[in-house]
Chains A and B, each alone.
Chain A
Amino acid sequence: MRVPVSWLREYVDLPADVTPRGLAAKLISVGLEVETVDEVGAELAGPIVVGRVAAIEELTGFKKPIRYCQVDVGTANGSGERQNIICGAVNFAVGDLVVVSLPGAVLAGGFAIGSRQTYGRLSEGMICSATELGLWEDHAGIVVLPEGFADPGTDAFDLLGLRDDVLDIAVTPDRGYALSMRGVARDAAVLYGAAFTDPAEVKPPATEGEGYPAAIADLDACDRFVLRDISGFDTDAPTPLWMKRRLALAGMRSVSLAVDVTNYVMWETGQPLHAFDRAKLSGGIVVRRARAGERLETLDHVDRALDPDDILITDDSGPISMAGTMGGLNSEIDDASTDLVVEAAHFSESGTARMSRRHNLHSEASRRFERGVDRRLPPYASARAVELLLLLGGGRMGGLTDVDPEVLAPPPIVVAEDHAAKVAGVDYPAGTSSTWLRAIGCTVEELPGVLSVVPPPWRTDISDPNDLAEEVIRFEGYENIPAIPPRAPAGRGLTRTQRLRRAVGRGLAGAGYSEVLSFPFVGERDLDGLHLPEDDPRRASLALANPMSDGEPLLRTTLLPGLLKTLARNAGRGSTSVSLFEAGLVYLPRDGAPARAPAPAVDRAPGADELTALAAAIPDQPYRVGAVLAGDREPAGWWGGGRQANWADAVEAAHEVARAAGVALRVAQAQAVPWHPGRCAALSVPGPDGEVVVGHAGELHPRVVKAYGLPERSVAMEVGLDLIEAAIAPADAPFISTYPVATQDVALVVEESVPAGAVEAALRSGAGELLEAVRLFDVYTGAQVGEGRKSLAYTLRLRAGDRTLTAEEATAARDAAVASAGELTGARLRG
Chain B
Amino acid sequence: MSAPNNSYDPVEVASLHPDAVARMRDDALAAIAGAADLDALKAVRVAHVGDRSPLALANREIGALPPAAKSDAGRRVGGARREVSEAVQARQAELEAERDARVLVEEAVDVTLPWDRGQRGARHPITTVAERMADIFVAMGFEVAEGPEVEAEWYNFDALNFLPDHPARSMQDTFFVAGADGAESGLVMRTHTSPVQVRALLDRELPVYVISPGKTFRTDELDATHSPVFHQVEGLVVDEGITLGHLRGAIDAFVLGMFGERLKTRFRPSYFPFTEPSAEVDMECFACRGASVGDPDRPCRTCSSEGWIEIGGCGVVNPKVLTAAGVDTGRYSGWAFGLGVERTLMFAHGVRDMHDMVEGDVRFTAAFGSEI
Nearest CB of chain A from residue B112's CB, rounded to whole Å: 11
Chain A residue nearest to B365 in the complex (CB): A514
By a CB distance below 8 angstroms, the chain B residues around A555 are: 150, 177, 189
Complex: chain B residue closest to A357, CB-CB: B170
Task: Pick the residue among B124, B175, B266 that contacts A516 (CB under 8 A).
Answer: B124
**B245 and A575: CB pair below 8 A?**
no
- Cα–Cα distance between A570 and B252 once the two chains are bound (Å): 40
Chain B residue nearest in CB terms to A495: B144
Do A510 and B186 have beta carbons less than 8 Å apart? no
Give the nearest-CB partner of B167 in chain A.
Answer: A173
Residues of chain A within 8 A (CB-CB) of B164 are: 350
Among the stretches A278-286, A337-345, A437-445, A469-477, the one at the interface with B is: A469-477
Bound: A174/B318 CA distance, A: 14
B326 at the interface (CB under 8 A from A): yes
From B126, B171, B186, name the one whose CB has the most chain A CB atoms within 10 angstroms. B186
Q: Could you tell me the distance in whole angstroms from the C-beta of B182 to the nearest C-beta in chain A?
A: 8
Per-position contact with B for A574-596: 1 when CB-CB < 8 Å, else 0? 01011111001101000000011
- If over half of B's interface residues share one DSSP class (helix, strand or loop), that class is named, otherwise mixed; here it is mixed
A491 contacts the other chain (CB 8 A): yes
Report B-chain residues with C-beta under 8 Å of the C-beta of A511. Answer: 121
Known: A585-B149, A617-B152, A639-B117. A602 touches B319 (CB 8 A): no
| B153 contacts chain A at the CB level, 8 A cutoff | yes
On whether A573 and B151 interact (CB within 8 A), knowing A481-B244, A484-B249, A509-B370, the answer reads no
Decide if A189 is an interface residue (CB 8 Å cutoff). no
Within 8 A of A (CB), among B248-263: 248-253
Residues from chain A with a CB closer than 8 A to the CB of B270 are: 31, 33, 172
Chain A CB within 8 A of B108 CB? no
How many angstroms from the CA of A488 to the CA of B237 in the assembled complex?
8
Q: Which of the listed residues B127, B163, B333, B357 has the most CB atoms from chain A within 10 Å of its own CB?
A: B127
Q: Is the CB of B277 within 8 A of A494?
A: no
CA distance A501 to B269 in the complex (A): 37
Whose C-beta in chain B lies nearest to the C-beta of A578? Answer: B362
B243 touches A493 (CB 8 A): no
Set of chain A residues within 8 Å of B180, measured between Cβ atoms: 595
- Residue A370 at the chain B interface, CB threshold 8 Å: yes
- Interface size for A (C-beta < 8 A) is 110
A 513-525 to B, binary, CB cutoff 8 A, 1 in contact else 0: 1111111110000
Contacting pair B131 A518 (CB below 8 A): no
Taking a contact as CB atoms under 8 Å apart, the answer to whether B325 and A488 are in contact is no
Residues of A contacting B114 in the complex (Cβ-Cβ under 8 angstroms):
637-638
Known: A422-B243, A509-B123, A544-B175. A618 touches B150 (CB 8 A): yes
A594-613 contacts to B, CB under 8 A, are: 595-600, 602-606, 611
Please provide the chain B residues from 109 to 133 with a CB less than 8 Å away from any CB of chain A in the complex. Answer: 113-124, 126-127, 131
Which A residues touch B202, using CB under 8 A?
A: 605-606, 611
Interface 1/0s, chain A 22-35, versus B by CB < 8 A? Answer: 00000011110100
Residues B196-240 near A (CB distance < 8 A): 202, 207, 209, 215, 219, 221, 228-229, 237
Please measure, in the bound complex, the distance between the C-alpha atom of A813 and the C-alpha atom of B166, giving whole angstroms: 77
**Are B323 and A602 neighbours in the complex by a CB distance under 8 Å?**
yes
A469 vs B279: C-alpha distance when bound (angstroms): 13
In this assembly, does B165 line the interface, its C-beta being within 8 Å of a C-beta of chain A? yes
Q: How far is the CB of B269 from chain A (nearest CB, A)?
A: 3
User: A593 → chain B, closest Cβ, in Å?
Assistant: 9
Question: How far apart sit A495 and B229, CA to CA, in the bound complex (Å)?
Answer: 25
Set A486, A492, A521: member contacting B250, Cβ < 8 A? A486
Stretch from B6-14, B74-82, B134-142, B283-291 that touches the partner: B134-142
Residue ID in chain B nearest A470 by CB atoms: B277
Q: Does B268 contact A (CB under 8 A)?
A: yes
The minimal Cβ–Cβ distance linking A154 to chain B, given in whole angstroms, is: 35
Given the interface pairs A464-B276, A542-B177, the reply to whether A618 lies near B252 with Cβ below 8 Å is no
- Bound complex: CA of A487 vs CA of B249, how far in Å? 10
**Distance A578 CA – B149 CA, assembled complex (angstroms):** 29
| Distance of B122 from chain A, by nearest CB (Å) | 5
| Cβ contacts A421-450/B at 8 Å (1 or 0 each) | 011111000000000000000000000000
Count of CB-CB pairs between chains A and B under 8 Å: 319
B103 at the A/B interface (Cβ < 8 Å)?
A: no
Q: Give the B interface residue count (CB, 8 A).
A: 106
B360 near A580: Cβ-Cβ < 8 Å: yes
The interface bits of chain B over 302-331 (1 if a CB of A lies within 8 angstroms of the residue's CB, else 0) are 000000000000001011100111100000
B221 near A548: Cβ-Cβ < 8 Å: yes
B183: Cβ under 8 A from any A Cβ: yes
Q: Distance in Å from the Cβ of B1 to the closest Cβ of chain A?
A: 34
Q: Is A120 an interface residue (CB 8 A)?
A: no
Q: Is A506 an interface residue (CB 8 A)?
A: yes
Could you give, for residues 614-656 of chain A, a 1 whenever the CB lies within 8 Å of some chain B CB and a 0 otherwise? Answer: 1001110100000000000111011100000000000000000
The contact string, 1 if C-beta is below 8 Å from chain A, for chain B 183-194, is 111110100000
Assuming the A-B contacts A512-B119, A517-B360, A546-B175, are A619 and B165 also in contact, with contact meaning beta carbons closer than 8 angstroms in the complex?
no
CB atoms of B277 and A466 under 8 A apart: yes
A residues less than 8 Å from B280 (CB atoms) = 33
Is B361 close to A, CB under 8 A?
A: yes
Q: Which residues of A contact B (CB under 8 A)?
A: 28-31, 33, 172-175, 349-351, 353-354, 357, 370-371, 422-426, 464-467, 469-470, 473-474, 478-479, 481-495, 498, 502, 505-506, 508-521, 542-548, 553, 555, 566, 569-570, 573, 575, 577-581, 584-585, 587, 595-600, 602-606, 611, 614, 617-619, 621, 633-635, 637-639
B residues apposed to A, CB below 8 Å: 113-124, 126-127, 131, 138, 140-144, 146, 148-155, 158-159, 161, 163-168, 170-171, 175-180, 183-187, 189, 202, 207, 209, 215, 219, 221, 228-229, 237, 241, 243-246, 248-253, 265-271, 273, 276-280, 316, 318-320, 323-326, 333, 357-363, 365-366, 369-370
Closest 7 CB pairs of A and B: A605-B326, A425-B243, A425-B245, A31-B269, A597-B186, A516-B360, A488-B141
What are 25 residue pairs bridging A and B, where the CB atoms are less than 8 Å apart in the complex?
A29-B268, A30-B269, A353-B166, A464-B276, A464-B320, A469-B276, A481-B245, A483-B249, A491-B138, A491-B140, A495-B144, A508-B121, A509-B370, A514-B124, A517-B229, A545-B177, A569-B359, A569-B360, A595-B185, A597-B153, A614-B155, A617-B186, A617-B187, A621-B149, A638-B113
Given A513-B121, A515-B124, 20 extra CB contacts under 8 A: A467-B276, A484-B246, A484-B249, A485-B253, A488-B237, A491-B209, A509-B369, A514-B122, A517-B229, A555-B177, A566-B360, A570-B360, A580-B360, A585-B215, A595-B183, A596-B179, A599-B153, A603-B324, A619-B150, A633-B118
